[in-house]
Copies of this chain bind each other. A is one copy, B any other.
């Protein structure tokens, strides 16, 4: 008997018929003798409907009261799913975030989970009940309703799984797993049977939007095996766990990429301590998020400093950077708003030299100029002109044989 947390997103519970199908899946798991906790999102479209209502009475809605409003979305779903289960003769209890006591801080609209009192859920499970919990929401120390921000239901599921020491946390979604890269770009992209938490974090943050990154962090921190699988088709999906030390992993698990990036460079900055902060501090204050950062020391006593931002922030960042350049006495400022980032991700990289070399060679063979390079323990990222994005991803996917399952993955 295993304890399984299942999570269904808005599309999977988008109408009464789909809710019935979810009920069937939950029943199947319960009938196999597993203990099941189900976390659900609001029905697709519901959160937008509520937001439109809120904006109709207040253009900039008060965050606290907005959470009271938005939390009704998941409450509707837990009730409907429980009704569907009850109809099938399945003993069930539904709980809002307040009832379960998913305790969060008081950052309304983007609260973070602090603790979960899962005692009540445990009692229900012991009594043979399925427990249905509203995702995305919690309660602060004063009893006010909070929400975790968009996509927070994944986090609820992972956090509940951690609190309950669940055997597995299954995220049912509209894709059937995590792929080596985006199948829309590389038709040969292959579903991964396993991936490590660290790889998944790199893949998620780099634009493979299968899972909320906070959910992966949670699951990783508490070592809850996480499985991404399809809500609509059968299949084993992709299991996200820690690296098995006895297992020879593949060199590369996948290729993440992101469009809509822009690159800015400040040239000839005096190479003094603290200069990085004096450049990036004002950029951050302007609410611009910085992604990659590269610094090269030149021959003279100056340095060149390049970073990437989202394309939407390019103009704002460029303007700030010109002011900063004037202050610091830098030689020049330049930028390019049409770049893209390609990243190879794989824990196998740690123990294998030459990955980066093979990457650069592959891109060179296709005539793709690399504009920036950044590396971490399990990732090599390059920035290229946006027009080369698809070509580069496809060439790398083939060069690293990602379309073929490696022996080690069995």
Contacts and interface: CB of A to CB of B under 8 A. Distances in A.
Which 9 pairs, one residue from A and one from B, show the smallest C-beta to C-beta distance? Answer: A69-B79, A16-B56, A72-B72, A68-B79, A62-B86, A58-B87, A65-B82, A58-B83, A57-B84
Contact of A84 (B16, B58, B71, B83): B58
Interface of A: 16, 19-20, 23, 50, 53-54, 56-59, 61-62, 65-66, 68-69, 71-72, 75-76, 78-80, 82-84, 86-87, 92, 94, 96, 98-99, 143-145
A53 B71 contact: no
16 contacts: A54-B80, A58-B84, A58-B86, A58-B87, A59-B87, A61-B83, A62-B86, A65-B79, A65-B82, A65-B92, A66-B83, A68-B78, A68-B94, A69-B79, A72-B75, A96-B145
Contacts of A61: 83, 86
Nearest to A84: B57
B94 A57 contact: no
A55 B29 CA distance: 25
A178 B64 CA distance: 38
Contacts of A66: 79, 83
Given A76-B50, A99-B143, A57 B71 contact: no
Given A16-B57, A69-B75, 17 more contacts: A19-B57, A57-B84, A58-B84, A58-B86, A65-B82, A65-B83, A66-B79, A68-B78, A68-B79, A68-B94, A68-B96, A71-B75, A72-B76, A75-B75, A98-B98, A98-B99, A99-B145
Number of identical protomers: 2
A99 B76 CA distance: 18
A145 B72 CA distance: 13
